[in-house]
Structure 1
Amino acid sequence: MIAGLSKAATLYLAPILTLTAIVLSLLSYLAPVLVLHDKVALLTVTPSTTLVQNASHAVDGPSLFLGVLGSCSRPKNDGDLTCTSPTLNPAYDVSALPSTAPRLLLSAPTQATPVFLGIGLACSIIFFFTFTITSFRHKMGEKMSATLDKPLVQRLSAWLGFFGFMIGITSFLILRMWFGKAADDFNASITMQGRDGPQLIAGVSNAFTMVWVAYSFYAVPLIISLSKLHVTTTK
């Protein structure tokens, strides 16, 4: 029974988790400019009276959705959504916010972060294919199976998975610190203005939740791949 569960986890569950992790990471990377424009973002600025009246009630106003590749905004709750062009060095369009809002605090991180994220995602995608192929090598004929069973192939797959995981999660951690600080400073600036401040509030958004789930899933096939590599190298 244990052998059957181990086989099922390696052959079927791990590739599914890897694919799910890649999809969630890609959505977090591409949103909100290319997909899920007002549904997923790294940081959002939305209408709220919490900071200026110490109470929250429904209010109409501008909204801003920031991501790795750019931003989307709308002037009011039922207004049209406008997105910037996707780029690795985005300049967020904050023109929808009132002039009293601390716009300068909502800046994009350095260009290196999106680039490294792209590299990490590329490694993860290649790892998904190499891990899946090597897992099903026994169904590809003796010659192909012998080739995929070589330590070099196993080692390459494991290293790709490791680099994809480390580069990706490190880049997202940097983004979390960057946007977390931006949200705190933005809210503090509005609070200092008192009741005359704009009725807005900033906060890190659901893209980070998707990322943490993605890399939790990603850890399963990565551990399996590293374990297989360890067994291979100790024979």
Structure 2
Amino acid sequence: MAPERIVILTGAGLSAESGLGTFRGKGGLWDEYDLEEVATPEGFARNPVKVHDFYNMRRRWLREACPNAAHFALAKLEREHSGEVLIVTQNIDPLHEAAGSKAPIHMHGELASALCAYCCASRPWTEDLSLATDCPACGESGYMRPDVVWFGEMPREMERIYAALAKCDLFVSIGTSGTVYPAAGFVAEAQGAGAHTVELNLDPSEGASLFAEKHYGAATEIVPAFVESLLKP
């Protein structure tokens, strides 16, 4: 019986073939950068210039990145599946939307957005940020920061995510390391709801043993193949 309600979690491995680096593992961003310095509120308070430089670099990477076959396959699943499909992404890039996905949940925020820590206004943002950047909403300077969730901050839309996991028939995890919570716990939530669980990854994740079904290989190969299997009459 085909699943009616599908929840898909995507991580950095989905966008790796679009030229956006992963974070953990050999060659990941955390091999080169200290996450405590560039991905925490405390790091931003200590050295905002360094944090802005890091995210300005990553924002420039977005200008060169395009969605790959895996992103397009998930957008096709959204369009053609007769039931519900919810994409929850840990990625802060806009590649799901560029491929045609309508409303993915960016649980870790969005790089192409800026947040004012003074008035809490959020705005689309594609240029560099600095301490001299004025907030377009309140006019204050020195408070603008990337609109992303740093370590120690609460991920976005968790209530909605857990509600979807509680009623899903199929949970699919794509391109994730299985080490970052709360996302690493989603498979257990889905299992508890009786859902079938699937891991699609380059290599087994830390939580691979929790999944009922597993497929390993390049995302641009295994994700389109899995989507086609779901859409077969």
Normalized against structure 1, the TM-score is what?
Answer: 0.28
Normalized against structure 2, the TM-score is what?
Answer: 0.28
Which structure has the highest strand share of the two? 2
Which of the two has higher C-alpha Rg? 1
Which structure has the highest helix share of the two? 1
* Greater RCO, CA 8 A, separation 6+: 1
